[in-house]
Amino acid sequence: MPNTILHPNSPAMVTETPLFSANDEWSPLKAVIVGRAEHSAFPSEPPHMIAATMPGEHFAEFRPSNPFPADIVAKAQWELDNFASLLEKHGVRVYRPKEVDWVKAGGYTGAMPRDGLMTVGRTLIEARFAWRCRRNEIKLAYSDILDQLGSEDGAGRIHRAPEIVGHDTIYDDVGHDTIYDDVGNGNGNVNGNGVDVQNGHGITANCWAVNNSRPAFDAADFLRFGRTIVGQLSNVTNPMGVQCLKSIVGPEGYAVEVLRTTDTSAMHIDATILPLRRGVLVYNPGRVTEEELRRHAVFAGPDWELHAYPFVPQCRGSLSPPMYMCSPWLVLNALSLDERRIFVEEKDTQFAQWLRSKFGMEPILCPFQHVNSLGGSFHCATVDLVRETAIRCPARADAA
């Protein structure tokens, strides 16, 4: 029988719209999870992981039970609430997680649900986090939402991550022989594990801050392009993690393809490539090449325009809050409302103007710089549960 969904600012109605169904990043957004920022704490992971992924100037902040500055957290929460309200005004159903004291829980934040959850078709998938401080993030903050989504008649499949019992082997024999100074510089290579970090095609499989002893992947290392999921190996996603994701989505007819990036600090692909709409993709030329993108069947033909972002994003200056965890390339971490409208941080005016003039897009400018301080932007802070025209997405592309 059809699901009953209460849309914001409207009476209850019966609709055939599923509670979660999305096959791309650009179709009209109808339901979404928006995170929350209260009690966010700097993630505490082994020094080699922090050195591999975080800006060196803030290295010393990444220690146990160290909360983000209270004023930044409060303003980030206001920005998330404001963003959720704006989405509701555009007719989007918004879900919000529980408030959790992440300092007491030994965790990180509830502001970045994209890292931990992804919708692929009618399946909602929980990530296999590498970071130990995120191990209980979905259970603590999002279980109520998942229970609600899974309890309705006709609900899709929710694939929860198995609990890790006992010693987590993900960091075994990685980075332990490296000594770091107070800005994260080590006496080994960039990832602190004494191996060559690049070859002629990008990054070697063994250069990362995690090993391949168990499946690990962050959902934000993958984007949906119809029946093809495009992702990357990174400091939080290993080959076993990719195979794990393939085992979940493969039986439903989805392919998972892995880009060869040139970013040794890689952690999440959604500030490297940004699909604006069907057939138009923007990419960071410092992290991936057009040649590499064209190597994949989904981008190989004339149906996709691939555009290198022509500007180098700049830091916003001393009047803006610190970017503790991200580079200015976070500008590409935008969220499409549909194929015409896209959410952009209000100070990223150069990017917004380029989207208008180059592609005829309509950027929706929204304050989000304090959320940026916590480690992400609009794409990171959301999980798109329903995109309306997902069923029109093209058939799966075979790997090149």
- Known catalytic residues are 218, 268, 380
Hey, what amino acid is at 229?
I
Query: CA 369 to CA 73: how far, in whole Å?
Result: 11
- For 4, the 3-state DSSP assignment is strand
- For 97, the 3-state DSSP assignment is coil
Sheet holding 382-387, edge to edge: 93-95, 29-34, 382-387
Q: DSSP letter at 163?
A: P
Strand partners, 228: 225, 255
Among residues 149, 186, 231, the alpha carbon closest in space to that of 53 is found at 186
In terms of C-beta density within 10 A (0-12 exposed, 13-18 middle, 19 or more buried), how is residue 267 classed? Answer: buried
Do residues 376 and 71 make contact, with C-beta atoms less than 8 angstroms apart? no
Q: Which two tokens stand for residue 132?
A: 């130990």
Query: CA 348 to CA 316: how far, in whole Å?
Result: 9
Q: How many residues does the chain have?
A: 400
CA 163 to chain CA mean position, Å: 21
Hey, what amino acid is at 182?
D
Do residues 367 and 72 make contact, with C-beta atoms less than 8 angstroms apart? no
Query: CA 198 to CA 190: how far, in whole Å?
Result: 11
HSE, side-chain direction, 13 A CA sphere, residue 71: 3
